[in-house]
Amino acid sequence: MAAFAQSAPCWVDVQLPDLEAGKRFYGELFGWTFRAGDGPRADALSGGALVAALAAKQDGRMPTTWGVYFATADITDSVARVREAGGQVITEPVRAGLGALAQAADPGGAVFGLWQAGERAGFQKQNEPGSFCWTEVYTRQKERVDPFYEEVFGFRSVDPDEAGSGAPGTDESGVDFRIWSPAGTEPGPDTAVGGRSVITDAFPAMMPSYFLVYFAVADVDESAETVVRLGGRVSAPPFDIPYGRMAVLQDDQGAVFAVLQPPVS
């Protein structure tokens, strides 16, 4: 399996109260098949390629949410960088045959994972229907969060207006948004691997900072209809953005995610 570039998103998983219900939901929505993972987990496959994992929550107090992991060649160093940059380490590095993982939170409280590859590098497919294609953090503390990700991951950040339109998540509503490109690349939509958006006053004051995970789909409108039919909810109905058409959805257990349909070339 090919290695991932340093700091690139390389894996996603979701914590669910009911693992079997999650398999039914995402199996029908994305056409995923599943195989048993370590512990109460299931690896999700699209066309036989690894794309995600579903896990049964071990503690009912844990949020029902999708999480994203960023690749690192040295997880100990990355954890140290998180602390130095003002973040919090939630789970110290845990090493296993598949790799090593840790969980952390940025200064605004958004949680993310770190992954050092072992037997598993991460996704075997992305940017294709039924697989991961984008992520962005939503925060109220951009002044602290922007330098944090630049220091921890070496991201080169740029406002989409500075780089030209075309980045996932940009729109014409004036939302404060930045895109991240890995170190050593020219920052802009062509190299972007994620981004940062600001939580506005339009959202409840108690909404915490969080990462939103996007999956590519062939038809956003059909995906939204399928989610409702399966007992989920549509948080943001399908709408057009410069990078295609997207919607924000919620599964039947409450986990929020987004889907993105690329524009017709």
**Considering the entire predicted model, what is its pTM?**
0.92
The C-alpha atoms of residue 231 and residue 263 are separated, in whole angstroms, by: 28
Q: What are 116-129's pLDDT values in tens digits? A: 999 999 999 999 99
User: Can you give the pLDDT of all 265 residues of the chain as single tens digits?
Assistant: 457 889 999 999 999 999 999 999 999 999 999 998 777 899 999 999 999 999 999 887 888 999 999 999 999 999 999 999 999 999 999 987 789 999 999 999 999 999 999 999 999 999 999 999 999 999 999 999 999 999 999 998 888 665 444 444 444 456 788 999 998 888 888 899 999 999 877 677 778 899 999 999 999 999 999 999 999 999 999 999 888 999 999 999 999 999 999 987 6
Q: Smallest Cα–Cα separation from 15: which of 70, 64, 73?
A: 64
Map tokens 């071990």 to a residue.
58
Q: What are 129-174's pLDDT values in tens digits? A: 999 999 999 999 999 999 999 999 999 888 866 544 444 444 445 6
The C-alpha atoms of residue 117 and residue 162 are separated, in whole angstroms, by: 34
Q: Give CA 254 to chain center in angstroms.
A: 16
SS3 185: coil
Q: What DSSP string describes 193-208? A: -EEEEE--TTS-TTPP
Q: What DSSP string describes 76-99? A: HHHHHHHHHTT-EEEEEEEEETTE
Residue 92, φ and ψ in degrees, nearest 5: -65, 160
So what's the pLDDT on residue 162?
A: 56
Q: DSSP code of 129? A: T
